[in-house]
Homo-oligomer: A and B are copies of this chain.
Amino acid sequence: MRETASALAPSPRRREIPPPEPAPRPYHHGDLSRALVLAGRRILETQGPEALSLRAVAREAGVSPAAPYHHFKDKGELLDAVAQEGWKELGHAIGKARAASPNARGAINEIGVAYVCFARQNPAVYRIMYRSACDRGTMPDKAKEADSGWRHVAEAIVAAGADPNDAREMELATIASWCAAHGVAEMAGFKEFEPLKKALGGEEAFVRAVLGHIGIYGHAKPPAKA
């Protein structure tokens, strides 16, 4: 929809004009790798995940369909890079939610809400993030880094945990809360829940209520010791 004029009209490349604009397409894009990731993100947000083709990304970035192959092995790798960006943002959102919580137990709750809200506000990106993760059967590497969401959750769990010495229980609790948040994130948009959402006063209230029924979150008691 953008400048597809060149596709319709046989426009001879106008290379006589010394660019009045400082940097239209200097043949060698400054940092195409980064531009492609941003273009992918833009397409995701405006057209949804179905429209995210390699060619569309190249088009959006203003390069030929073959150009991306000098920066990514294949389409999957490009998508992984886009997903990576999403994970980083998720990590920040979670970190912010955690920092804003007064006590440790409340932090777990707020993290869960922040997680689901991020997914609901960036559905296309979230989709790609988990498609990439499930395809490769692994959480993104970055999720193990300092500011990663996973680490925030793990630390919050430990901070609120009843038995900080039982590492296994702590890990299980971290996994459980992450899994639960992911499940809610993917299902919160289902039409069947609309009446309940409305009755509760909006989606965030709904999310809080659902998470409230999930052990680690809400009204539950500390993780039971085995």
Task: Tell me the A residues contacting B by CB distance below 8 Å.
Answer: 127, 130, 133-134, 137-139, 168-169, 171-173, 175-184, 186-187, 189-193, 196, 199, 209-221, 223-224, 226
Asked whether A216 lies within 8 Å of B219 as measured between CB atoms, the reply is: no
Given contacts A137-B191, A196-B171, whether A213 and B213 have CB atoms under 8 Å apart is: no
- 21 A-B interface contacts by CB (under 8 A): A134-B186, A134-B189, A138-B191, A169-B213, A172-B196, A172-B213, A176-B210, A176-B211, A176-B213, A178-B187, A179-B187, A180-B180, A181-B183, A182-B187, A213-B215, A214-B216, A215-B215, A215-B217, A215-B219, A219-B220, A223-B226
| Residue in contact with A219 in the complex, picked from B139, B171, B224, CB distance below 8 Å | B224
- Report B-chain residues with C-beta under 8 Å of the C-beta of A217: 215
Number of identical protomers:
2
- Report B-chain residues with C-beta under 8 Å of the C-beta of A215: 213-220
Nearest 8 pairs of A and B residues by beta carbon: A183-B183, A215-B215, A179-B183, A176-B213, A182-B183, A214-B215, A180-B180, A215-B218
Question: Which of A127, A181, A213, A217 has the largest count of B CB atoms less than 10 A from its CB?
Answer: A213
- Report B-chain residues with C-beta under 8 Å of the C-beta of A176: 180, 184, 210-211, 213-214, 218
Asked whether B180 lies within 8 Å of A179 as measured between CB atoms, the reply is: yes
| Residue in contact with A214 in the complex, picked from B139, B186, B209, B214, CB distance below 8 Å | B214
C-alpha gap A101/B123 in the complex (Å): 37
**Nearest CB in chain B: distance from A54 CB, A:** 15
C-alpha gap A178/B169 in the complex (Å): 22
C-alpha gap A182/B187 in the complex (Å): 9
| Residue in contact with A189 in the complex, picked from B130, B137, B190, B213, CB distance below 8 Å | B137
Given contacts A213-B215, A214-B216, A220-B215, whether A175 and B199 have CB atoms under 8 Å apart is: no
Given contacts A134-B186, A216-B213, A223-B213, whether A175 and B191 have CB atoms under 8 Å apart is: no
C-alpha gap A173/B177 in the complex (Å): 16
C-alpha gap A168/B213 in the complex (Å): 12
- Report B-chain residues with C-beta under 8 Å of the C-beta of A127: 134
C-alpha gap A188/B52 in the complex (Å): 27
